Amino acid sequence: MSKKYFGTDGIRGTVGEYPITPEFVMKLGWAAGKVLGKKPQDRIVIGKDTRISGYMFESALEAGIAAAGMNVQLLGPMPTPGIAYLTRTFRAAAGIVISASHNSFYDNGIKFFSADGTKLDDSVEYEIEAYLDKEMTTVSSEHIGKAKRVSTAAGRYIEFCKATIPATYSLDGLKIVVDCANGAAYSVGPKVFRELGADVQPVFNNPDGLNINEGCGATDVRALAKIVKGNKADLGIALDGDADRLIMVDHNGEVVDGDELLYIIAKGAQNAGRLEGGVVGTLMSNLGLEKALNGHGIDFVRANVGDRYVMELLKKHQWNFGGESSGHLICLDKNTTGDAIIAALQVLVVMATENKTLAELKQGMSKYPQTMINVKVSKRQDPMLNETVVAAVKEAEAELKDTGRVLLRASGTEPLIRVMIEGENGAQVEKLTAQLANVVRETL
């Protein structure tokens, strides 16, 4: 049974368009309070990024949760992984994040963490959706919830991040540019690295409610790359709007993406003797990551695209490290969800331990040329159910042999088929991708 409102990462959309409206969000808060509250006066923590609509939805959630009889603790602007951490440390019944992550300011969304700081189970989301179809009621006046702001939230999370690396380790001597994406980590991000001793230059750290992710952050590192080179910094750190994604830039201004960062973290853990098991990537992870890890005897498995599915496989295999090319990196031995600041710290520890630059560390992995074409189709459908398409895929795979791979994936949000091929020969990859895309276009 498909969900009516929840996607793979909460509920997200354009502000003012259903369901991202104050009325719906208030009722969502009420429904969450009814489902997640285990005893009277339980509490839910709420954090947000820097979008102007966050104030409106914070108030709406507060009203709905209070009407359900639960208390609210307001964290203010806070990275998504920080909200997961504070949900656990405050022993809250749940955590709520008001954010549309890497999207532009005119979008927003609501996502939830359970009491243990992980994404909600499907069964809980179904239960919340069932309450959304009921009439909203208010508990008796003596049981209405209260709300208060938590002034110590940022400091607590900063100390938590710092504690994920050895106490003897310092960033002294490192010159770092931190791109805060004008988002949730605009304050805490630079402070973490500065308090550990680095010479930090924060950029895009002046949010105005409208400039989140605008020409900056993990989705657009062009400006960061120029600043790193121009200032002769050792590296650049790019966070996205809610600071759960990380992309880095080396001293040459070259991008180090999520696949390369995941390789560096996992290989560093292996060298330090603390790698437990293997690594989880996704269907979109570069083949070069898989080959590099396997070459060092590290197992690698692929999950469906989305951190929820990466997390599922990490728990299944009882492994610690997983992530996506986009920079959503999970270090389960440090936090219960993807955390850009913590992932960056793990990379910096490897640099110090092995006395290598970021540029040198990424040389251990060679990325395969990859081409993707999005083909518009008449309706959302599984392309691998069509015999003509399947035959074309097999033909491309036969030409690649064991030097590449083919992936056809239906978009989860649009009527698009993503045709992706990667392999050792870039020209061959481009040719085969164009040919297969034409077959999909003509057939579907």
Residues with catalytic roles: 101
Place of tokens 């009407």: 67
**On the CB side of 428, how many CA atoms lie within 13 Å of its CA?**
15
Burial of 330 (0-12, 13-18, 19+ CB in 10 A): buried
- Which tokens belong to 405? 């791979």
Query: Token pair 């009882």 is at which residue?
Result: 318
Helix/strand/coil for 234: coil
Sheet strands (E) in 42-133: 43-48, 71-77, 94-98, 107-113
Rounded CA separation 412/54 (Å): 26
Spatial separation of the C-alpha atoms in residues 280 and 286, rounded to whole Å: 12
**Omega into 19 within 30° of 0, i.e. cis?**
yes
Determine the 3-state secondary structure of 150 from DSSP. Answer: coil
Collapsed DSSP state (helix, strand, coil) of residue 236: strand
Q: Give the alpha-carbon dihedral of 12, 17, 20, 21, to 10 degrees.
A: 180
Q: Which three-class secondary structure state does DSSP give residue 269?
A: helix
Radius of gyration of the chain from Cα atoms? 22
Q: CB–CB of 231/175 below 8 Å?
A: yes
* Residue linked to tokens 């369901």: 19
C-alpha to C-alpha distance for 238 and 204, rounded to whole angstroms? 10
The answer to whether the Cα torsion of 414, 7, 160, 320 is positive or negative is negative
Choose among 313, 311, 260, 314: nearest CA to 285: 260
